[in-house]
């Protein structure tokens, strides 16, 4: 708990600052809009957390989400649930492909997911004919747009989907064989193999989860904006990695938390939300491109801090009495 205290304090400080400085920061509209929009980033971050916990990386989540948004938009003519399932299936296929290539061909995750990222982007452009793909209008099968824009019991549907995925991820990491094996593989893949764990299956499952949740994020993207977006998703992997690392998950693997990953998503989302309010006051004027700069700075700072913590741990082990 002590190591998580800084991010929780920073989160609380940003909330208090926003409530004090901006009139409508605590309004129901701002809260639901924040929850609705950041649901996509929460989904890809939960998937990224499992991958990083195993000691890997997934650079394809952004373009996979874009591909899934196009697939969902194209299939929305057959009904809302078909569009949802098709978008998720597209993400799952890419995730499983990533895992199989990494485990069967023994290629570094960085290289594999970079290649599939480029491939997914190309397929999205081909399917969308280099343009946004509008979702189907209302039909007897229901309105797919409600999946991204609608509410259930007064709560945004995308936010509820992200909350359910985060809860499932938290339970999976804490209470299932997959979660325990993921931590073991990330701690030491060789030791995990010696213990008799099926390392390859665990890795494939981790990348499958990442792909599936990226696909779900893409479905929400299409439903929220009314069209599949083949050119969207650029930099999403950086947001996800930043959120996961901010939440205390080690880039080297073997240690991580889904709950703190969500805290990382909230922290990054709040920073951008506050910047939007500040732009509205007119004192500063920062374009959306500054979001990438801020994400990069956050990621660099946390990586530097993690490196120092790991170095201190190594010194303690060396100097510990036999």
Gyration radius of the chain's alpha carbons:
20
Asked, for residue 319, whether it belongs to a domain, the answer is no
User: Does residue 21 sit within a domain?
Assistant: no
Instruction: Report pLDDT digits (tens) over 20-56.
Output: 988 888 899 999 999 999 999 999 999 999 999 999 9
Q: Tell whether 71 is covered by a domain.
A: yes
In a domain, 227, yes or no: yes
| Domain extent at residue 184 | 26-234+248-257
- Report the predicted TM-score, pTM, of the whole model to 2 decimal places: 0.90
Residue 103 lies in a domain: yes
d(CA 98, CA 80): 28
List phi, psi (to 5°) of 170: -60, -45
Instruction: Kindly state whether residue 274 falls inside one of the protein's structural domains.
Output: no
- Can you say whether the dihedral through the CA atoms of 311, 317, 321, 322 is positive or negative? negative
How far, in Å, are 45, 90, 219, 235, 319 from residue 212 at the CA level? 12, 8, 11, 18, 44
Look at the chain and report how many structural domains it folds into.
1
* Strand, helix or coil for residue 216: helix
Per-residue pLDDT tens over the stretch 122-173: 999 999 888 888 888 765 446 888 888 888 888 999 999 999 999 999 999 9
Q: Is residue 282 a part of any domain in this protein?
A: no
Beta-carbon contacts of 215 under 8 Å, excluding residues fewer than 6 positions away, are: 64, 65, 68, 87, 88, 89, 90, 91, 92, 94, 95
* Whether pLDDT at 204 is above 50: yes
Q: Is 167 part of a structural domain of the chain?
A: yes
User: Contact 267/11 with Cβ under 8 angstroms?
Assistant: yes
């Amino acid at each position: 708990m002590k190591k998580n205290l800084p991010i929780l304090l920073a989160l609380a400080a940003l909330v208090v600052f926003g409530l004090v400085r901006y009139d409508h920061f605590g309004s129901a509209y701002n809260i639901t809009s924040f929850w609705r929009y950041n649901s996509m980033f929460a989904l890809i971050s939960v998937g990224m957390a499992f991958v990083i916990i195993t000691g890997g990386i997934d650079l394809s989540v952004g373009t996979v989400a874009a591909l899934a948004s196009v697939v969902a938009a194209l299939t929305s003519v057959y009904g809302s649930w078909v569009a949802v399932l098709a978008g998720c299936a597209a993400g799952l296929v890419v995730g499983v492909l990533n895992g199989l290539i990494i485990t069967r061909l023994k290629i570094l995750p960085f290289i594999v997911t970079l290649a599939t990222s480029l491939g997914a982007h190309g397929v999205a452009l081909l399917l969308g004919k280099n343009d946004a793909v509008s979702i189907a209008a209302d039909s007897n099968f229901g309105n797919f747009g409600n999946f991204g824009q609608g509410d259930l019991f007064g709560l945004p549907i995308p936010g509820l989907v992200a909350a359910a995925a985060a809860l499932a991820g938290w339970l999976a990491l804490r209470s299932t064989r997959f979660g325990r094996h993921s931590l073991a593989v990330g701690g030491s893949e060789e030791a995990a193999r010696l213990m008799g764990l099926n390392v390859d299956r665990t890795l494939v499952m981790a990348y499958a989860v990442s792909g599936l949740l990226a696909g779900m994020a893409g479905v929400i993207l299409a439903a929220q904006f009314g069209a599949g977006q083949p050119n969207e998703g650029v930099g999403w992997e950086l947001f996800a990695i930043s959120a996961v690392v901010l939440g205390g998950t080690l880039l080297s693997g073997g240690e991580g938390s889904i709950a703190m990953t969500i805290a990382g998503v909230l922290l990054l989302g709040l920073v951008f939300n506050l910047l939007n309010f500040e732009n509205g006051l007119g004192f500063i004027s920062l374009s959306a491109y500054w979001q990438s700069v801020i994400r990069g700075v956050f990621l660099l700072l946390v990586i530097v801090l993690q490196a120092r913590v790991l170095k201190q741990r190594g010194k303690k082990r060396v100097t510990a009495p036999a």
